[in-house]
């Protein structure tokens, strides 16, 4: 039998929201192109949605629409379950049930995989089914494919990415318009760039889910969201964006995972990066990811990190992969986390105190003799080397006659625990008048 004679592979879709409807639309629009690639047609034959009427109006009469998603994962005709409903409770039960029923799963659910991935992948391995998740990270960018397959010759050294579009949009607006975080967030919500409840985005949790997945496939370690350091952008001031720019840097919310001699770094936080790096020029709601590996060197990936058809692009690519490989011996397939399950590494994820990076510090200080000496003395005592400094005229910061000013210091690399000690000592100086701002810096060279 030639591949074109094969019957369509039957897909069950869980969720007909933004991503689900986009998946249905793109699959229908490009069905012939997709069939030529996959070797047989891919057909969504059953969908589950909370609002059955609305779902019916989207998928039309030829598709069975149900309100109970378990009907989909338990249906004997369904070979692949696409989970695009989100959440980590019901979605997890459904994915586990689908796997137990011997169905392959395609999911764009980064929270589910970052938190429960080890359990999900172990169950899939035991059942000989695939769980594909290209849509979980930076949707339009095939970064999972690149790391897991394209770069499989390499020893990956680090991955650093702008992997949350909402926060990148906010940071770009703050820089462009010189506005503070709260003002831009309200505007972003009004324009629909930020969700009504933007907590996961602005506090860095969404980026940390994605960074956790990237760390696992870059280094062959289990997913360990609980070990990720997570710091969002809510405390960023327009002044810091402006000072950073004067020093040749932009501030981005980065997800960083790095292999070091002592373990794996896994962290999300606002980061100064040199303005001359391509990554610094990823603006608005776009995503960008840099990967440093030993043979390929630095590679970079750019594209939309959200959107209906942008996510559908990733979901359908996974559907094509599963359609091609579902009859293959499970051992011949690409392992879920890039490395064979019996060859995973137990290299520990480091605590933030053990991370080595460089820093931007802003100290609001009394403008009088000896202040600079006492600050630099503390840094010198801690063995922290200063890379650059910027001191504003007091009246530029506080207006005419002001007696306080901002002192900006860029440091060279040091271990974070040492910086924490130095910060505590500087903060205790009577001439340091406000809480010190500390933002980490990466050269990405």
- Is 45 a binding residue for ligand HSE by CB under 6 A? The answer is no
Q: Which stretch binds ligand HSE (CB under 6 A): 10-18, 161-169, 381-389, 402-410?
A: 161-169
Task: Map residues 116-155 to x or -, x wherever contact with ligand HSE holds by CB under 6 A.
Answer: ----------------------------------------
DSSP 8-class letter at 445: -
- Is 206 a binding residue for ligand HSE by CB under 6 A? The answer is yes
CB of 335 to ligand HSE, least distance (A): 24
In the bound state with ligand HSE, the residue whose beta carbon lies nearer, of 290 and 306, is: 306
Which of 166, 224, 404, 405 is in the footprint of ligand HSE by CB under 6 A?
Answer: 166
- Is 188 a binding residue for ligand HSE by CB under 6 A? The answer is no
In the bound state with ligand HSE, the residue whose beta carbon lies nearer, of 83 and 201, is: 201
Q: Which stretch binds ligand HSE (CB under 6 A): 162-170, 236-244, 333-341, 355-363?
A: 162-170
In the bound state with ligand HSE, the residue whose beta carbon lies nearer, of 166 and 358, is: 166
Which of 21, 164, 357, 364 is in the footprint of ligand HSE by CB under 6 A?
Answer: 164
- Is 310 a binding residue for ligand HSE by CB under 6 A? The answer is no
Whether the CB-CB separation of 326 and 318 falls below 8 Å is answered with: no
- How many residues at the interface with ligand HSE, by CB under 6 A? 7
Which of 201, 231, 309, 442 is in the footprint of ligand HSE by CB under 6 A?
Answer: 201
Q: Which stretch binds ligand HSE (CB under 6 A): 158-166, 292-300, 362-370, 405-413?
A: 158-166
Beta-strand ranges (E) seen in 136-182 are 156-162
- Is 165 a binding residue for ligand HSE by CB under 6 A? The answer is yes
Three-state SS at 159: strand
d(CA 142, CA 129): 21
Helix (H) or strand (E) holding 207: helix 205-219
In the bound state with ligand HSE, the residue whose beta carbon lies nearer, of 67 and 284, is: 284
Which of 55, 113, 214, 306 is in the footprint of ligand HSE by CB under 6 A?
Answer: 306
Whether the CB-CB separation of 345 and 414 falls below 8 Å is answered with: no
Q: Which stretch binds ligand HSE (CB under 6 A): 124-132, 163-171, 314-322, 364-372?
A: 163-171
CB of 197 to ligand HSE, least distance (A): 11
CB of 165 to ligand HSE, least distance (A): 4
d(CA 21, CA 18): 6
- Is 305 a binding residue for ligand HSE by CB under 6 A? The answer is yes
What would the two tokens of residue 145 be? Answer: 């494919």
Backbone torsion region of residue 417, taken as left when φ is above 0, otherwise alpha when ψ lies between -120 and 50, otherwise beta: alpha
CB of 59 to ligand HSE, least distance (A): 23
Q: Which stretch binds ligand HSE (CB under 6 A): 124-132, 159-167, 270-278, 340-348?
A: 159-167
d(CA 124, CA 120): 6
CB of 426 to ligand HSE, least distance (A): 35
Integer CA distances (angstroms), 89 to 86, 93, 96, 115, in order: 9, 6, 11, 11
Pairing relation of β-strands 264-274 and 249-259?
Answer: antiparallel
Catalytic, out of 92, 210, 252, 441: 210
CB of 159 to ligand HSE, least distance (A): 16
CB of 199 to ligand HSE, least distance (A): 11
Active site annotation includes 10: no
CB of 431 to ligand HSE, least distance (A): 41
CB of 316 to ligand HSE, least distance (A): 17
- Is 22 a binding residue for ligand HSE by CB under 6 A? The answer is no
**What positions carry a catalytic annotation?**
210
Tell me which residues touch ligand HSE (CB under 6 A): 164-166, 201, 206, 305-306
């Amino acid at each position: 039998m030639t591949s074109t004679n094969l019957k369509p592979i039957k897909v069950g879709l869980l969720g007909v929201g933004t991503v689900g409807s986009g998946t249905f639309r793109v699959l229908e629009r490009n069905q012939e192109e997709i069939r030529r690639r996959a070797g047989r047609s891919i057909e969504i034959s059953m969908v589950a949605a909370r609002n059955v009427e609305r779902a019916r109006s989207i998928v039309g009469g030829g598709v069975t629409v149900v309100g109970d998603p378990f009907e989909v994962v338990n249906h004997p005709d369904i070979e692949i379950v696409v989970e695009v409903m989100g959440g980590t409770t019901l979605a997890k039960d459904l994915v586990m049930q689908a796997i137990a029923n011997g169905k392959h799963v395609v999911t764009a659910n980064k929270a589910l995989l970052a938190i429960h991935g080890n359990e999900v992948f172990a169950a899939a391995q035991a059942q000989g089914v695939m769980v594909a998740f290209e849509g979980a990270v930076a949707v339009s960018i095939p970064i999972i494919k690149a790391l897991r397959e394209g770069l499989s010759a390499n020893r990956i050294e680090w991955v650093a990415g702008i992997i949350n579009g909402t926060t990148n949009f906010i940071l770009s607006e703050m820089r462009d318009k010189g506005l503070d975080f709260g003002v831009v967030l309200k505007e972003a919500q009004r324009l629909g760039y930020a969700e009504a409840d933007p907590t996961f985005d602005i506090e860095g949790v969404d980026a940390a889910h994605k960074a956790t997945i990237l760390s696992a496939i870059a280094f062959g370690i289990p997913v360990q969201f609980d070990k990720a350091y997570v710091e969002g952008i809510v405390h960023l001031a327009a002044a810091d964006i402006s000072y950073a720019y004067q020093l040749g840097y932009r501030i981005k919310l980065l997800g960083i995972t790095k292999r070091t001699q002592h373990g794996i770094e896994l962290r999300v936080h606002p980061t100064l990066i040199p303005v001359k790096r391509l990554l610094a020029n990823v603006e608005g709601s776009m995503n960008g990811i840099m990967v440093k590996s030993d043979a390929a060197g630095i590679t970079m990936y750019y594209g939309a990190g959200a959107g209906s058809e942008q996510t559908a692009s990733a979901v359908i690519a996974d559907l094509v992969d599963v359609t091609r490989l579902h009859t293959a011996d499970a051992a011949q397939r690409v392992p879920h986390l890039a490395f064979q399950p019996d060859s995973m590494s137990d290299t520990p994820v480091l605590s933030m105190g053990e991370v080595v990076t460089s820093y931007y510090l802003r100290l609001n200080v009394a403008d009088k003799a000896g202040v600079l000496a006492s600050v630099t003395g503390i840094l010198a005592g801690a063995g922290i080397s200063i890379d650059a400094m910027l001191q504003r005229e007091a009246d530029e910061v506080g207006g005419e006659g002001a007696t306080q000013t901002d002192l900006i210091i860029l440091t060279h690399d040091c271990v974070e625990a040492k910086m924490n000690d130095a910060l505590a000592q500087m903060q205790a100086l009577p001439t340091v008048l406000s809480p010190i701002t500390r933002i980490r810096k990466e050269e990405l060279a």
